Amino acid sequence: MRMHNPPHPGEIIKSLCLEPLDLSVTEAAKALGVSRKTLSAILNGRGGISPEMAVRLSIAFGTSAESWLSQQTQYDLWHAEQRRKQLRVMRLVA
């Protein structure tokens, strides 16, 4: 069962990873080996978690890369489902 309106993974990073460690965006970006701009985009919901970023997060925070990718997939799928009626797709059956 899919979650109702799941949070963007950036919100999770901010609240469960950065805030408890009292890390700034700049400090976290440096630790992750990415630019501040890249991390800021993710934290503010303007960027998504790529497979590489998922691996970086898993190393930095002792989590699984799969969990980060799953969160991103759930978020993306929920938003795509909200646009389902707008899609112009023809059903194909055998």
**Residue 74 sits in a domain of what CATH number?**
1.10.260.40
Task: Provide the domain limits for residue 48.
Answer: 9-86
Centroid of chain to Cα 31 = 18
Closest CA to 9 of 39, 30, 35, 52: 39
Mean pLDDT of 58-83: 97
**Distance separating the N- and C-terminal Cα atoms of the chain:** 28
In a domain, 1, yes or no: no
Q: Is the pLDDT of residue 29 over 90?
A: yes
In a domain, 39, yes or no: yes
Mean pLDDT of 31-59: 98
Q: Which pLDDT band holds residue 64 (cuts at 50, 70, 90)?
A: very high
In a domain, 29, yes or no: yes
In a domain, 36, yes or no: yes
Q: Is the pLDDT of residue 2 over 90?
A: no
Helix 51-61 / helix 25-32 crossing angle, nearest 10 deg? 100
Percent share of the chain, pLDDT over 70: 97
Q: Which pLDDT band holds residue 37 (cuts at 50, 70, 90)?
A: very high
CA distance 61 to 86: 39
Contact 39, 57 (CB under 8 A): no
Q: Is the pLDDT of residue 1 over 60?
A: no
In a domain, 2, yes or no: no
CA distance 57 to 83: 30
Query: What total number of domains does the chain contain?
Result: 1
User: Mean pLDDT in the chain?
Assistant: 95
